[in-house]
Amino acid sequence: MNDAEVRQELVAAARALGVVEPRPDCEPDLLYGPLFTELYDSGDPTYSVAIELIYEGYLLHYRSTRVLKEPVSCQTGLLAGDFFYARGLRYLAVRGDVAAVDLLTRLMAACSYLRVAGAPLAADDDLWAFTVAALAALCQGAGATTALALFSEFERLVADAALDKLHHSVRQAAAALPLACPEPLLRHLDGAALVATGREV
């Protein structure tokens, strides 16, 4: 499955939602699915599709949709976001990948906290990039403890009211991931990939 087919899955999910029409001639920018493929390309599209569906759910909750006609009301955005979340997680659940589901649900909880706390959106972007890299590391045989370590650190930073140190913590956790080629992750943590796709940094 190439990027065009991943986009088709996003549009298919939008049509299945049935609440708001997809954008006409929708060609959503992909961000974290391609990052996963750069870090670990197994030829299996499941993770890229799941990641992009879950990311669309996040965008519907907190930023701007890539696939639905706007304007989207707050209530509709919450409903649609939950739908995309669930559809993405289902891809991983049917594979029995408990560690991946755990990792992504922790990401969603952390982003929810960051939005309530009014943290810069760059903090969400850091967590997203790390999580995708951690998924790639899991697929390459890394232990779940290594992949989840950042979220234990996140809880400590919240308790200490020290979220300003999150970027540094993400960098440290990223360095501990056993990735064959970490450069794509470092690009995302530097914000270059987000600027290229027009996302806020």
Helix axes 3-17, 32-39, angle to 10 degrees: 140
Domains (range + CATH), the chain: 3-196 (1.10.600)
Q: What is the pTM (predicted TM-score) of this model?
A: 0.91
Looking at residue 136, what is its pLDDT? 96
For 41-73, the pLDDT digits (tens) are: 888 889 999 999 999 999 999 999 999 988 888
Whole-number Å distance between alpha carbons of 123 and 73? 25
Looking at residue 193, what is its pLDDT? 54
Tokens of 120: 């810069």
